[in-house]
Every structure is written in C-alpha cells, then in structure tokens.
Amino acid sequence: MGECVIEVRNVSKSFRGEAVLKDVSLKCEGGRIYGIVGYNGSGKTVLFKCICGFFHVDAGEILINSKQMGKEIDMLSDAGIIIEEPGYLRNLSGYKNLDFLYRIRNKPNKQHLQDIMQKVGLDPFSKKHVGHYSLGMKQRLAIAQATMEDPGILILDEPMNGLDKQGIAEMRDFFEEQKSMGKLIILASHNKEDINALCDEVYEMDKGTLNRVR
C-alpha cells in the first residue's frame, strides 16, 4: 500500500437546501489512477471542486497529505486541474498560451513546453490561434497546461472530451506514463470504457453518493 495523498472523509455538501454530496468517502494514493463514473449532475464535479478547495464542505473533512482543507490549507497545490474549459487567449497560438501561463511561476523553458505539446499530440510550431482550435485540440492543450509544471496530483474532469479514437488512445498512454512517475490521478468520465482501460480503482457517483465498483 502506498502513502495516502488525498482522503475524503464523510463529506456532505448542499446548495440551496439540495444535497449534492451525501456522506462521501474516498482514499487515494500516489502512483494510482482513480476513476469516477456518473451522469452529469451526479456530483462528480462538485466533489472535485471540494478536493481542490474551490468549495467548502458542509460536513466531514478533506485531508491532503494529512492536512485539512479549509483549516490547515486553503487550496490544493502541486496539482494539475481540468474541471471547466480553461480561459485561453484566443488570438494567440497554443504554444504562446502555455508560455504565458508557464512564465507566471517559472523561468522560460521553450524546449520543455515544446516537448509537452508534442507529448499530447499538438504541434508547438503551429501558428494557429487557439480561437480556431477544435474541441479535441483545446482538450489536448488543457492536458498540456495541467501537466506542464510536473505536479504530483492530477484532477481531471472529462479529460477525453472531444477526442477522437486515436486521441483517446494517445491520452491513455500519456496518463499511464504520468502514473508510472508516481503521480496520483483522479479522473471523472461518463465513458466507462475509458475508466476501465485506465483505472486501478473505479467508483460510481449517483445522486451524491459514491460507491466503489471495482
């Protein structure tokens, strides 16, 4: 058994009196991929936002490396996150978008960003503006952005969205490579095939409750 990185303990969350998460518990270790399946509105995205610190829980607690979210830490750090479509600068190329975001916290590193783009199947030398990207290309760029700073945790909500068959196969290989580097990956998908192909443990979210299915 590896070290527990994220622990969700009996978490509940409501909005305007409607329960969205009901007594949810989950333990996640590094070097493993956890899959959560469920219909839209089942609570997957809200759970991810609570883990990231975007929402405060109403009951229960979330521990990140044994530190309590909302008390000892305010936000999930050392994490690459895809929850909603990132807001890109539409009139710049994919590379220039990544470069702009990377430089906020890092020294410029042209070769590293070119390598990351190639790994997710994008041409770093293309001048095409992100505003003209297909949904699949935007998704690849989001995955590049989530992984470009080499985080230890990846929280990915529908990471295969908009990808064709080849793209899905390439991203599965990419996530397997990330896992082999010891990273913790939690991904949500409505596609059970993606989840079954990739994940070490699989959970189903249904009307706010989370149950392990594999």
Q: Within this chain, do residues 160 and 73 fall inside the same structural domain, yes or no?
A: yes
Q: Within this chain, do residues 156 and 63 fall inside the same structural domain, yes or no?
A: yes
Per-residue confidence (pLDDT) for residue 163, from 0 to 100: 93
The dihedral sign for the CA sequence 202, 187, 174, 149: negative
- The residue range of the domain holding 127 is 88-149
Q: What is the pTM of this model?
A: 0.94
Report the mean per-residue pLDDT for the chain.
Answer: 95
Q: Establish if 83 belongs to a structural domain.
A: no
Q: Within this chain, do residues 44 and 97 fall inside the same structural domain, yes or no?
A: no
| Residue 160: CA count within 13 A, CB half-sphere | 24
Domain stop point among 111, 131, 149: 149
Domain stop point among 117, 149, 181: 149
Three-state DSSP state, 106: coil
- Domain count for the chain: 2
Q: Within this chain, do residues 143 and 161 fall inside the same structural domain, yes or no?
A: no
72-96, pLDDT tens digit by residue?
Answer: 999 999 999 999 878 899 999 999 9
